[in-house]
Structure 1
Amino acid sequence: MIDTHLHVWDRSRSRYRWLDGAPEPLRSDHPLEQGLAALAPYGVERAILVQADETLDETTYLLELVAAEPRLAGAVCYLPLEDPDTVARELPRLAATAGFVGVRNLSHDRPDPDWILGAEQRRSIGLLEEAGVPLDYVSVLPRHLENVVTLAGEHPGLTVVLDHLGKPPVGRDDDYRRWTDRLADAAALANVVAKVSGIYPAEPAEPAEPAAGAVTPEQLDSVLTIALATFGPDRLMLGSDWPVSTVSGGADATMSVLVGAVDRLPREQALALRRGTATRVYGLGA
């Protein structure tokens, strides 16, 4: 299995300012060996690192890890999409670097949900499109998911990788139909693929309500059924979202449910999610 969404961080290599307000278990460093050890029992043989900070220092750090660890298939790295001149300068160098497989920003953390559609960002995305570099995109709001349709529709040569299936509102039935409709709109565009990763119960509607832990097998089966119906197995891939998953039950809870759901699929579908889609989308070698 290829884990397409593994994070690591070392706060001596990049600042990771968002961790200052993150749950306590995430604030410490999370090294690669710890993550690979946590995932090995679930058949993870290779993994793709995914950026977790908006610095070129972290981009350098991730690519160093990929160069040194054969179990890493590549890294989705940061480039400042709001600065197309820097993207134009750095992208050719990165594209020629073994292990560089895509670009991502923490666009979901920005106050403007339409940030990704800004003029400078669109110039940078055009450069990714020309270079054949996939864009991972995080959607946590309905508006973010709507923007996938705009991006993919106006950049048909760009592969948009929707992280975490656009954050299905598990346990929030009132929001579920809106998510399924927006997901179907995104999936209608052939250049959009998605990761079955980071699937957690939705935040409680009221602050006084207790937070939920990991999703149940029944909940994940429901999400996966919708994902397969909209994208099909050849446009879906699996990701652990470690170590973010440690605050929702940990690798044992999240990965056991995820792998169990995939194992209940027909063999060809399971193989696509386990490695086939990732190998094609990210251009991974054997």
Structure 2
Amino acid sequence: MAADFPIIDSHIHLYPKSELDTLAWCNADSPLAKQHSLDEYKAASAGSNIKGFIFVETDRKNDLEAGVKDGSGWKHPLEEVSWLKRIALGQPRDGEGHAAEDAGLCAAYIPWAPLPSGPEAMEKYIDLVKEEAGESFRKVRGFRYLVQDKPDKTMLSDNFIESLKLLGRRGFVFDLGINLHERGRIQLEEAVEMIERAHEGVPEEEKVTFIINHMCKPDLTVYNIHIDKSFIAWRTAIFTLSKASKTYMKLSGGFPEMTDGLKARTPEDIFGAISPWLSILVAAFGPSRIMFASDWPVCTVGVDDAWNKWKKIVERLCYMASFEDEEQGMIWSGTAMKAYGIEEA
């Protein structure tokens, strides 16, 4: 169905077993509470033409207020930067699951950042990231502060908006993670307002680029989309978000928003069930602003062969949309390279 396009997987998470206790969400009962490094990722995606990946922060424990004062509250996020540096520069430690020759696979990485603390704290933090990252700092293409589980209005504070403007001036992107399925339409509405405020009065070349994670996590359990309020709110927000300059969308994160029954079905069946959402994304953003992303290893929870299953769903989207080779090339790698400012090796 699809040519063997080179792939940049624009959203994966990696962490070594030795640092599990630094992950804010990780407990003994979590199905993801074990090492997930490049060896496991390469096994999951074996057989595909992987050109590279973009690592996105994994929600390490932090203390924003302590960090503002002396940086101590940023210890674990900076440990994550050190971990990615070892991968990006090919400097593995025993047992971490990657080798020196894997360095070229790291196309970019997106650390955590304390956006709610304001631009002064952000400047201090970026300097610490630069120091910790060393030669790999050129692969730090942006930052994320995950807002999907934070209180309402977090992303609308003056400090947050000014931090976003700082990222734009410094040439960094912002990865935006929101959750319609669990948080409702309020997060969509706030995301629209946040982008408007972050771009208002800012020269085009200094506007921060927003890379929206996981299709905004729509409720993929809906059957009657014509009357479902969450679908209508999602559709409206997607078209509104797409009208803003410098906004991109990741085709990822679908499995956690589905029923267990749907997850177990074939890629063709799943595509048929979620095609209304995928069609909206294509109509709103087009292939030049959509990028493939697996969300590995989160995608694996409750799903067999999840990486390849999601790839087949995206392949079917490309086929059903009759995308030309150039358009498919954008979805599989080109859009990610453009959005994150990744240069050809």
Deviation (angstroms), 1:148: 2.2
Q: Cα distance 1:43–1:260, how it changes in 2: closer, same or farther (>3 A)?
A: farther
Q: What amino acid maps onto 2:311 in structure 1? A: M
Preserved contact between residue 78 and residue 104 of structure 1 (Cα < 8 Å)? yes
Correspondences of 1:124-273 after superposition (within 5 Å): 124-141=163-180, 142-156=185-199, 157-172=207-222, 173=225, 174=228, 175-200=230-255, 202=257, 212-213=262-263, 216-249=270-303, 250-264=306-320, 265-266=322-323, 267-273=325-331
Q: Is the radius of gyration larger for structure 1 or structure 2?
A: 2
Residue 190 (structure 1) shift: 1.7
Post-superposition shift, 1:201?
A: 6.0
Post-superposition offset of 1:244:
0.4
Name the TM-score, length of structure 2 as normaliser.
0.74
Aligned equivalents of 2:87, 2:188: Cα separation in 1 = 31
Which shifted more, 218-227 or 256-265? 256-265
Partner residue, 1:50: 56
User: Which amino acid in the other structure matches residue 161 of structure 1?
Assistant: I
User: In the alignment, what sits opposite 1:86?
Assistant: 121
RMSD, matched Cα: 2.3
Tell me, in whole angstroms, the C-alpha distance in 2 between the residues paired with 1:147 and 1:191. Answer: 17
- Contact residue 145 and residue 186 of structure 1 kept, 8 A: no
Does the 8 Å CA contact 1:167/1:198 hold for their aligned counterparts?
yes
Q: Distance in 1 between the 2:17 and 2:146 partners?
A: 17
Contact 1:75-1:101 at 8 Å conserved across structures? yes
* Mean CA deviation greater in 72-81 or 88-97: 88-97
Identify the residue that residue 16 of structure 1 maps to in structure 2: 23
Change (3 A) 1:76 1:109: same
- The Cα of 1:99 is off from its aligned counterpart by 1.0
**1:213 is aligned with what amino acid?**
K
The match for 2:139 is: 99
Q: Does 1:75 align with 2:129?
A: no
CA contact (8 A) 2:161 2:197 kept: no
CA offsets per residue over residues 154-182 of structure 1, 9 Å max, x none? Answer: 22201111101111221313221221111
Query: In structure 2, what residue type is equivalent to 1:38?
Result: A
Which runs of no fewer than 5 residues in structure 1 stay unpaired? 205-209
Q: In 2, distance between residues paired with 1:191 and 1:98? A: 21
Deviations 1:186-243 (A, max 9, x none): 1111221111111136366xxxxx6642670213443322111001111111100000
Matches of 1:87 and 1:197, distance apart in 2:
28
Deviations 1:260-279 (A, max 9, x none): 32344412221111111111
Residue 123 of structure 1 and its aligned partner are, at CA, apart by 2.6
Q: Are the structure 2 counterparts of residues 253 and 107 from structure 1 closer, same or farther at C-alpha, using a change threshold of 3 Å?
A: same
Return the alpha-carbon distance in structure 2 between the equivalents of residues 211 and 117 of structure 1. 37
How many residues are aligned here?
279
Letter in 2 for 1:80: P
Instruction: Give TM-score scaled by structure 1 length.
Output: 0.88
What is the distance in 1 between the residues matched to 2:48 and 2:191? 31
Shift of 1:114: 1.9
Cα distance in 2 between the residues matched to 1:147 and 1:184: 15
- The answer to whether the 8 Å contact 1:49/1:72 transfers is yes
Paired position in structure 2 for 1:207: none
What SS does structure 2 have at the residue aligned with 1:109?
coil
Q: Match of 2:343?
A: 285
Name the SS of the counterpart of 2:296 in structure 1: coil
Would the alpha carbon gap of residues 272 and 212 (structure 1) be closer, same or farther in structure 2, given more than 3 Å must change? same
SS in 1 for 2:121: helix
